[in-house]
Chains A and B, each alone.
Chain A
Amino acid sequence: MAIGYQSLFNDNDSVDKANTHKIYDVIIVGSGVSGSFMAKELVDAGLDVLLLEAGEFFSRTNFPKKEIDANSKLYWSGGIEFNKSADLAFLRPKVVGGGSIVNQALLDRFDDMALDSFKEQSGVSFFTKESMQPWYEKAESEIHQEVIPKEHRNKNAEIFAKGFEENNYLYDSLTRAQKNCAYEEGNDCIECLSGCRRDSKQSTLITTLKSAINNGLHMKSLFEVKNIVHKTDEVRVDGIHLKREYESFRAKKLVLASGAMGNSKLLLNSGFKKSLPALGQNFYSHPQFMVLGLFKEQINSGNGPFQALKSADPNFRRKGFKLENVFAPPVGISMLLPGHGEEHQQLMKKISHMACIEVAIRDTNPGSIKTNRHGKMIIDKKLNEEDKKRKNAGIEAINNIFSSQGAQRIIEGNLPIGLHLMGGLGIGERARFSVVTPDFHLHGYKNIFAADSSIFPNAPGINPSLTIMALTKMAASKVFR
């Protein structure tokens, strides 16, 4: 009975499974300081939030212990990235908790100088001490802070202090987000550079992010966002999980919190440059130059709290640099020491005789972030004459300090590093010269927000962490408004 009864069937409807992804209230890209603080604020406000993070989730039980793994597992590109001319390195964390996992948890409010220049460049009125104060207070209330007690300072810090005193420079203790470091048990903070195995360092993993997760935050780690699609009432992000699985998520609103380089790259690769001409511009990085002082006696800079003090000299601030008492573990030091071979190894053998001070400059020459047609980032960032002057002034001060303490030799590090990656999505009133509005959304895109260091209009010359927290809190109210 072969009459064409098949055609009687209305059989053309697709059997493809529908895309069943739900629509979140907000998606946050990046789980660093800004992403974590934003997550907590939004979850506390009752929103359904998804946090996407390219890095892996570690906790104090499984942070990488050896430098080899710390570099490759906690940072982008296997540990280190460079500007176009390869004379400035960038360390960009890639881990759940972001910079708060690998930094030294230094918290500083911005001074008038920083806020004034922000205000002047951006035209944004809240960059004043008075307007920022309540937000700074709120941010500080989230995190336990300490300074290193004098009796626990290590020898490297003592050289720093004495050198400052003998040269009549002013210094101060660093304010650190930490708790219960138990120095009396002989703990060496340098171990916490790859994540604190005591949970003493107050990373977002044990503060805001933890709270957000406990209150219902959805998080997906090892997910790299590659593309953003903006629609009038919805944003879609496309990305790759574990380098293999392509997946998309949808939300009413999107918060970008993957830092100056991450946010810029993502928006550039998603085609936002046309409508946001300032995208990727005004990139700053507080280039740091570590200087090692070689002493006759053993210093053991790696022991105890390795970072306790900072310069507090108004002269330094005016000249555009700051000094910090710092050190690095062996692989780091080996990369700082010039050359290779026998000479290099003989120097390495003196690592316990080395003290270290770094000069971080408040860089004035804006860099730019672009992407090539393969989506790869190209960073054009150079020091101009003024920046070099700032660096040299800092190195001169370090020379004075080390010399006054009897250093046998002073070695300038081989590798300038930018740790504070800022700008690219500068905040401002005018769309032509800025990317983010004073209401923290992108110019012309009401559903895409950013409040991390990428919105800094220039280099403040001060540790950005606390200000990122404050601005994020300020921005959160705009996101869920």
Chain B
Amino acid sequence: MTIKLLKPIQQKGLLKLGDVICPGDLELPRFSKTEFYKEVDRILDYMEKDDLEGIRFLLTVFSFTPKFIINIILQLSQRSGGGNLILANLRLLNIGLKGIITTLYYSNLDEKGEEIFEVLKWKTKITSIPVESDDLYEHTDEASRMVKLGNEPKDFMIRAKSAQAELREISIEAKVNHLLELKEVILDSRDWIIDEIQKENGKTRSDALISEIFGVLDYLNYLIKFAPRILKDEKVHTPIALLGKKSRIYYEPLGTILIISPWNYPFYQAIVPITSAFIAGNSVLYKPSEHTPLTGVIEKILERAGFKPNWCQIVYGDGKIGSELIDLRPDKIFFTGSVNTGKKIMAQASSELIPVELELGGKDPSIVFEDASLERSVRGVLWGALTCSGQSCTSAEQVFIHHSIFENFKNMILTEAKKVRVGIDTDGDGEIGLMTTSSQVDIVADHIKDALNKGATLLSGNEWDYKSKSIPPLILENITAEMKIYDEETFGPIIPLISFESEQEVIDKCNASKFGLSASIWSKDMIRCERVARALHTGNVSINNIMLTEGNPALPFGGVKNSGIGRYKGEHGLRGFCHQKSVLIDSDSNKVEVNWYPYTLKKYKLFDKMTEFLFRGGVKNFLRFVITGLQIESYSDKEAKRKAE
């Protein structure tokens, strides 16, 4: 149970205040000796916003006020009241503060609370009524359509389906309001979210803040601004042959989206797909990785943003539960994770033709040409390879360096890598965090050992014991194509340096990979950069930067080859969560269309002429087309009616 609504300093103030109001004695515990303060959200959540602000402010002040002064403040404020506005506010303050503490203290919240009740000799009970007389009615109104179900996969699916109907009725404006609220909630509770990410994922606070919190807020801003436009009914061109008719595309929700996310970005990979699916009107089943479930975090945040529990349900568990959910036929599967799991999911989905979107792994190259700024490319590659301990699908995992600058690049990146600090931080000062799972540590160890066995040289990180989750930057050279580290995804803080001779050679090498997720190109020559960007068979390219296409929410993201199927984010990504319904609108009349029966020889000839005139082009032909069109229309109508008589 973590407190969402008070910062640590305010919690300190709360404990102090608690000890002034409930100092305890031989029998009763002192307030700070209990855990009651952890339940304070149960009160604060229901307070008016400005009252809450006042309480927060006072608690902050109390955190550095001596207890005897808090005592005096309380004594003074208790005696006040009456006409004067200041006195009235003082009294409110007294009641508010005393109310919070005594409510926590005397509400029997846990074993300590029970002990207090025993000291007070307060014991009340109520017996239940006999079951046979049970005529309890389960009222489900529009506000609580949550059907009473268990937590079996099928129950999740039933709730998700019932939520679909609800979500269809909610306007895009109302949905945007939820996102606005969500943005605020995330902003307000970002410290807490970073705590939770850090606990499970092991990344540094800066990594969490930059890639997850900032990234999510940026994406929400994008959705808030652009989703209403992207999802609006679209008018499209109707050809002249269909004169008088209108054509529309409705962007409708697919239904229920099953989102399965990995452990490397547990917050970002939750909120971004969930909100994308939600804004398009879908209900969501979200299965986080069992390694980083962030238990309760997503629920709480969504709840505070006004999401109803069945709009997006979080289903915890491993791959087995994911597979059981697929069996229940979601309307789309949005999977981010490994290639192997992605293939299994697609195979399972194929039996019911469930559409899949797969965001899989990569072996992303960085290509550094001889004219690139050494300073910039070294620092860029260093970050791209090491952020999140190299556990990003778009981490730089192959660094191709033009042979003429290879030594310089190597020396500089070695120098810079030595300066990077490794280890978990608590204050935002850390650079490379920890690996998240020990199985991933094993893979990194395996790739390094394999490379060294096959002749590679480890230039930095020799101190690593191949077991610790705290891995220093591992820079290697003398890499050959036989090594696992050359073409398998390592997902660790590795920097394999590979020299190349020509542009064509490096393009061929990159395109030979079974992956194609993203790449970075470093060069002053912008024409070359564009030429290489077009030549690379990959999903995303950053030019003179790295991992930055993800930094723009308007750009679709996704891979080719084994890196996946489909795109998310941006206009195209958002429409991926939609069913695009085509609608052709004609008016009601007695008219019989020319392409309907009856077919006659005369109609055939007219239609033939019309086809010739329409598609041959030219002004003269167009006029002929119009005339023939009118002729055939009137003929077709008369003929049909004549036959009917």
In the bound complex, do residue A68 and residue B178 qualify as a contact, i.e. CB atoms below 8 Å apart? Answer: no
In the bound complex, do residue B126 and residue A187 qualify as a contact, i.e. CB atoms below 8 Å apart? Answer: yes
* Residue B89, interface by CB 8 Å: yes
In the bound complex, do residue B125 and residue A87 qualify as a contact, i.e. CB atoms below 8 Å apart? Answer: no
Given A182-B127, A198-B127, residue A213 in contact with residue B139 (CB < 8 A): yes
Interface residue from B42, B144, B246 paired with A221 (Cβ < 8 Å) = B144
Q: Which B residue's beta carbon lies closest to that of A66?
A: B107
**B617 to chain A: which residues have CB within 8 Å?**
1
* Residue A271, interface by CB 8 Å: no
Given A1-B622, A180-B129, A244-B306, residue A190 in contact with residue B25 (CB < 8 A): no
* Residue B48, interface by CB 8 Å: yes
Q: Which A residue's beta carbon lies closest to that of B583?
A: A15
A198 to B181, CA, bound (A): 39
Per-residue interface assignment for chain B, residues 546 to 559, with 1 indicating a CB less than 8 Å from any chain A CB and 0 otherwise? 00000000000000
Closest Cβ of chain B to A1, distance in Å, is 6
Closest Cβ of chain B to A220, distance in Å, is 5
A57 to B136, CA, bound (A): 13
In the bound complex, do residue B120 and residue A330 qualify as a contact, i.e. CB atoms below 8 Å apart? Answer: yes
In the bound complex, do residue A214 and residue B121 qualify as a contact, i.e. CB atoms below 8 Å apart? Answer: no
Closest Cβ of chain B to A48, distance in Å, is 15
**B226 to chain A: which residues have CB within 8 Å?**
none
In the bound complex, do residue A198 and residue B43 qualify as a contact, i.e. CB atoms below 8 Å apart? Answer: no
Binds A, one of B90-98, B356-364, B483-491, B570-578: B90-98
A9 to B246, CA, bound (A): 8
Interface residue from A3, A84, A223 paired with B88 (Cβ < 8 Å) = A84
Binds A, one of B193-201, B235-243, B388-396, B419-427: B235-243
Interface residue ranges of A262-293 to B (CB < 8 Å): none
* Residue B323, interface by CB 8 Å: no
Per-residue interface assignment for chain A, residues 196 to 231, with 1 indicating a CB less than 8 Å from any chain B CB and 0 otherwise? 111110000000001001100011111100000000
**B141 to chain A: which residues have CB within 8 Å?**
57, 218-221
In the bound complex, do residue B126 and residue A197 qualify as a contact, i.e. CB atoms below 8 Å apart? Answer: yes
**A59 to chain B: which residues have CB within 8 Å?**
136-139
In the bound complex, do residue B137 and residue A331 qualify as a contact, i.e. CB atoms below 8 Å apart? Answer: no
**A87 to chain B: which residues have CB within 8 Å?**
81-82, 88, 91
Q: Which B residue's beta carbon lies closest to that of A342?
A: B23
**B128 to chain A: which residues have CB within 8 Å?**
197-198
In the bound complex, do residue A340 and residue B92 qualify as a contact, i.e. CB atoms below 8 Å apart? Answer: no
**A96 to chain B: which residues have CB within 8 Å?**
139
Given A198-B128, A342-B25, residue A242 in contact with residue B48 (CB < 8 A): no
A72 to B28, CA, bound (A): 25
Interface residue ranges of A1-54 to B (CB < 8 Å): 1, 3, 5-6, 8-9, 11, 15
* Residue A317, interface by CB 8 Å: no
Per-residue interface assignment for chain B, residues 23 to 50, with 1 indicating a CB less than 8 Å from any chain A CB and 0 otherwise? 1110110000000000100110111100
* Residue B634, interface by CB 8 Å: no
In the bound complex, do residue A185 and residue B136 qualify as a contact, i.e. CB atoms below 8 Å apart? Answer: no
Closest Cβ of chain B to A72, distance in Å, is 4
In the bound complex, do residue A335 and residue B99 qualify as a contact, i.e. CB atoms below 8 Å apart? Answer: yes
In the bound complex, do residue A68 and residue B78 qualify as a contact, i.e. CB atoms below 8 Å apart? Answer: no
**B124 to chain A: which residues have CB within 8 Å?**
188, 190-191, 302-303, 329
In the bound complex, do residue A68 and residue B74 qualify as a contact, i.e. CB atoms below 8 Å apart? Answer: no
Q: Which B residue's beta carbon lies closest to that of A196?
A: B126
* Residue A85, interface by CB 8 Å: yes
Q: Which A residue's beta carbon lies closest to that of B625?
A: A1
In the bound complex, do residue B170 and residue A245 qualify as a contact, i.e. CB atoms below 8 Å apart? Answer: yes
Interface residue ranges of B361-397 to A (CB < 8 Å): none
Central interface residue in B21, B91, B92, B142, by most chain A CB within 10 Å: B142
* Residue A192, interface by CB 8 Å: yes
A199 to B134, CA, bound (A): 10
Binds B, one of A73-81, A144-152, A433-441, A461-469: A73-81
In the bound complex, do residue B181 and residue A348 qualify as a contact, i.e. CB atoms below 8 Å apart? Answer: no
**B84 to chain A: which residues have CB within 8 Å?**
85
**A219 to chain B: which residues have CB within 8 Å?**
139, 141
In the bound complex, do residue A351 and residue B120 qualify as a contact, i.e. CB atoms below 8 Å apart? Answer: yes
**A182 to chain B: which residues have CB within 8 Å?**
127, 129
Given A220-B142, A352-B120, residue A345 in contact with residue B22 (CB < 8 A): yes
* Residue B112, interface by CB 8 Å: no
Q: Interface range on chain A: under 10, 10 to 19, 20 to 34, or 35 or more?
A: 35 or more
**A213 to chain B: which residues have CB within 8 Å?**
137, 139
Q: Which B residue's beta carbon lies closest to that of A198?
A: B129
* Residue B64, interface by CB 8 Å: no
* Residue B508, interface by CB 8 Å: no
Closest Cβ of chain B to A4, distance in Å, is 11
A344 to B25, CA, bound (A): 12
Closest Cβ of chain A to B144, distance in Å, is 6
In the bound complex, do residue B20 and residue A244 qualify as a contact, i.e. CB atoms below 8 Å apart? Answer: no
In the bound complex, do residue B95 and residue A86 qualify as a contact, i.e. CB atoms below 8 Å apart? Answer: yes
**B43 to chain A: which residues have CB within 8 Å?**
68, 71-72, 78
* Residue A236, interface by CB 8 Å: no
In the bound complex, do residue A61 and residue B136 qualify as a contact, i.e. CB atoms below 8 Å apart? Answer: yes
Q: Which B residue's beta carbon lies closest to that of A340?
A: B21
**A103 to chain B: which residues have CB within 8 Å?**
none
Interface residue from A180, A197, A246, A351 paired with B122 (Cβ < 8 Å) = A351
A222 to B141, CA, bound (A): 10
Interface residue ranges of B63-103 to A (CB < 8 Å): 71, 74-75, 78, 81-85, 87-89, 91-92, 95, 98-99, 102-103
A374 to B170, CA, bound (A): 27
Interface residue ranges of B42-61 to A (CB < 8 Å): 42-43, 45-48, 51
**A80 to chain B: which residues have CB within 8 Å?**
95, 99
A219 to B104, CA, bound (A): 34
**A346 to chain B: which residues have CB within 8 Å?**
25
Closest Cβ of chain B to A250, distance in Å, is 16
In the bound complex, do residue A11 and residue B235 qualify as a contact, i.e. CB atoms below 8 Å apart? Answer: yes
In the bound complex, do residue A85 and residue B106 qualify as a contact, i.e. CB atoms below 8 Å apart? Answer: no
In the bound complex, do residue B240 and residue A5 qualify as a contact, i.e. CB atoms below 8 Å apart? Answer: yes
In the bound complex, do residue A71 and residue B23 qualify as a contact, i.e. CB atoms below 8 Å apart? Answer: no
* Residue B119, interface by CB 8 Å: yes
Closest Cβ of chain B to A9, distance in Å, is 7
**A198 to chain B: which residues have CB within 8 Å?**
126-129
Question: What are 5 A-B pairs at a CB distance below 8 A?
Answer: A223-B143, A242-B306, A330-B117, A340-B78, A349-B120
* Contact surface of B with A, Cβ cutoff 8 Å: 20-25, 27-28, 39, 42-43, 45-48, 51, 71, 74-75, 78, 81-85, 87-89, 91-92, 95, 98-99, 102-109, 117, 119-129, 136-139, 141-144, 170, 173-174, 177-178, 181, 233, 235, 237-238, 240, 243-244, 246, 248, 305-306, 308, 617, 622
Q: A87-B88, A199-B129 are in contact. List 11 more A-B contacts (CB 8 A).
A: A72-B46, A85-B81, A214-B137, A243-B306, A244-B181, A246-B177, A302-B124, A335-B95, A340-B21, A341-B71, A351-B120
